[in-house]
Amino acid sequence: MLKMSMAVFVSFFLMSLAHAQAPELPGWKLVWSDEFNYTGHPDPAKWGYEEGYVRHNELQYYTVNRLENARVDGQHLLIELRKETPESFLATSINDEYHRYTAASVNTRNTASWTYGRFEVMAKMPQGKGTWPAIWFLSPLRSPSVPGPPQPRGPDGREVQGPLRGPNAGESSQGEIDLMEAWGSRPNRTAVHIHGTKGRTPSKSAEMEDMYDTFHLYAMEWYPDHMDFFLDQEKILTYTKDPEAGWSFDHPMYLIMNIACGGPDEPAPDDSKLPQFMTVDYVRVYQKGVTSAR
């Protein structure tokens, strides 16, 4: 019994140690990470928030420093999409019936940004109609947030009308990299998108049978002349620099992780399936012999 107890203790200790220390990779230098081995709010030295109804006529209100929507449990970051109706989160527009969801969008806009490197996010995704989780990158010069209430929706929960608002309505000279996007209306499917400056949007989707029950590694290696995208160490897309098609990726970019709901291509969530979570085991950034841009 004593030997078995000692073996269990050693195994647990080694697992805890592995979780607390990000490994080095041959040829790469670890420059930034969050292993989420603490409790409470996401580390404010690393993470900030978006706030409000911000884009794409989505239905959720992004909250700030609210444990119900973003918290660390000692092992993972939990980003939670909730059905709730606090008055301060209600949209002042028609059809408030569809505007009563809260979530979180955490980002490194004011704390860290990088030019080139290997980026790893180990995460488990939410599921259910209307959910829209994403792991993506923007330039600090480009704000993702455009305040304003969502637009009216029809009986099927989809928006009736209303264009996209603000910088995300079109292409930007600063570009956008979507390391992972998933939609509840397309179960067990994830996608990569690269948004450049001239309308070209290279993309690649992949199917997984267990993306809601198992952690998966979403990774990108970003170089001056190309980008490689990986799902569980398998390369699924290479995007090579093509100046004529528009290349907007020679400047620092920051990380965003969020759960949205609704939007132009998604219905309202199935309230019976809420709450839903994006559960993040770790985030790691490696570079080749250089330091973080900030």
Q: Is 8 helix (H, G, I), strand (E, B) or coil?
A: helix
φ, ψ of residue 226 to 5 degrees: the values are -170, 170
DSSP H helices in the chain? 2-20
Give ∠ CA 24-239-34 in degrees, rounded to 5.
30
Return the active site residues: 176, 181
Tokens representing 79 are 């980003």
Between CA 244 and CA 269 the distance in angstroms is 40
Answer whether the bond into residue 167 is a cis peptide, omega within 30°: no
Contact 78, 218 (CB under 8 A): no
What does the alpha-carbon distance between residue 18 and residue 27 come to, in Å, rounded to a whole number? 20
- What is the C-alpha to C-alpha distance for residues 265 and 185, in angstroms, rounded to an integer? 9
Closest-CA residue to 238 (of 248, 249, 227): 227
User: What's the order of all strands across the beta sheet hosting 203-207?
Assistant: 48-49, 105-107, 254-261, 131-138, 176-182, 189-195, 203-207
